[in-house]
Amino acid sequence: MSLDLAIRPARNLLGALRLPGDKSISHRYAILSALAEGESRLENFATGADCASTLACLRALGCEVKQEAEGTLTIRGRGPQLSPPQGPLECGNSGSTMRMLAGILAAQPFSSDLVGDASLSRRPMARVIEPLTRMGAAIAASGGARPPLRISGARLRGIDYALPVPSAQVKTAVLFAGLMAQGETSVSEPVPTRDHGELALEAFGARLTCAPGRISIRGGQALRPVAFRIPGDISTAAFFLCAAALFPESNLVLDDVLLNPTRSALLDVLSSLGARFSMLNVEDRMGELAGTIRLEPRPLGGARISGAPTVALIDELPVLAAIAPYTGQGIEIRDAAELRVKESDRIAAVARNLRALGAEVEEFTDGLRVPGRQPLKGGEVDSFGDHRIAMAFAVAALRAQDKVVIRNADAAQVSFPEFFETLEQLVER
């Protein structure tokens, strides 16, 4: 199915919102629930297709996953030993599913095949193949270390691994493998990435040793089940925050949203651009912070994002670039070559779409520079099959001079199927 959607200009965004659970946390809690001994209960589980892929794979590996009330799942774990799947494990569009499952499949006494859609089949997998092979698994991939993957599990041994590219998916995959390996596994990261893998392992009762930039786990620890309410997805919240920030009259409140400091850098950027926030009811839920955010829009200035902030903002960069024409001084993004190997080449996709709406953009191998004070015209853009590109341009469209048609807008299904209706409910015209 492919859906083209027209977004008309808006006057502002008004309202309060509670979002489905964070995608990164949902994947990790589902996988660790599968490895725990007993039944876990996960409230506010992510609604997108990516996390549904993880659940389908866990079912195929012998776990009982039940949908209770809306948004609530119970998962009966099997302990560290899963059952061999009857066929290939379908990861759909989800890099997180493939990379994190690779970590646990590497330790199983059977072989499994991990397959993905056309976009996932182009994404680099050497980053998980390399450490997991060093731990003792045998992994065959297609040319250039792309999916599909055939993983022949083994008795793993712990390794001391320095991540060559900052990637929380790879860090998590190696720690999950380390949980089932003999001896100790350590992962060092050059730049901090989201820490949900570490926090989730601790929530399920595993002991980790964390020093700055280095995490270690001893293999053979049993996991206990949890009951957890997953905070709303901050990367989805980003689209609504950026949309509201475009209009001085907006008033947006987001309840129970993830505020983990490794994920909330968008709030810092919006603050440095000029927006103001208040935060209420902040609580610590098994190490994950959650709370209410109220945004007070102000005219937006400019920003240059590079180095560690680029890593922290990796999923929010497309929407920041998409709203950059409406800022005073524009936005420059550097050190972001990873954007080229996401669900689409996000640097090329953003540049093409902005140009299609009449903006000037300078494209670099590792980022882009979008000057400010460029009113966008109406026109046609494409999601390039990428959920974050579809949502980023729906946001940019709200302040365009005329309607913007988003081709293949249904890509948003991957992380937030309810995105367009939710946006329409908040928008005033």
Catalytic residues: 315
State the nearest-atom distance from the C-beta of 165 to ligand S3P, in Å. 8
- Residue 140's DSSP bridge partners are 150
If the CB atoms of residues 166 and 297 are measured against ligand S3P, the closer one turns out to be 166
If the CB atoms of residues 316 and 410 are measured against ligand S3P, the closer one turns out to be 316
If the CB atoms of residues 45 and 326 are measured against ligand S3P, the closer one turns out to be 45
Q: What one-letter code names the amino acid at 97?
A: T
State the nearest-atom distance from the C-beta of 197 to ligand S3P, in Å. 7
* Residues in region 93-132 near ligand S3P by CB under 6 A: 96
If the CB atoms of residues 167 and 408 are measured against ligand S3P, the closer one turns out to be 167
310/336 Cα distance (integer angstroms): 6
Among 19, 73, 132, 168, binds ligand S3P (CB under 6 A): 168
Please report whether residue 169 would count as binding ligand S3P according to CB under 6 A.
Answer: yes
Size of the site for ligand S3P (CB under 6 A): 10
Please report whether residue 194 would count as binding ligand S3P according to CB under 6 A.
Answer: yes
If the CB atoms of residues 175 and 381 are measured against ligand S3P, the closer one turns out to be 175
Stretch that binds ligand S3P, among 34-42, 136-144, 166-174, 359-367 (CB under 6 A): 166-174
Q: Residue 371 in contact with residue 344, Cβ under 8 Å?
A: no
Please report whether residue 54 would count as binding ligand S3P according to CB under 6 A.
Answer: no
* Residues in region 390-409 near ligand S3P by CB under 6 A: none
Which residues are near ligand S3P by CB under 6 A? 24, 96, 167-169, 172, 194, 314-315, 338
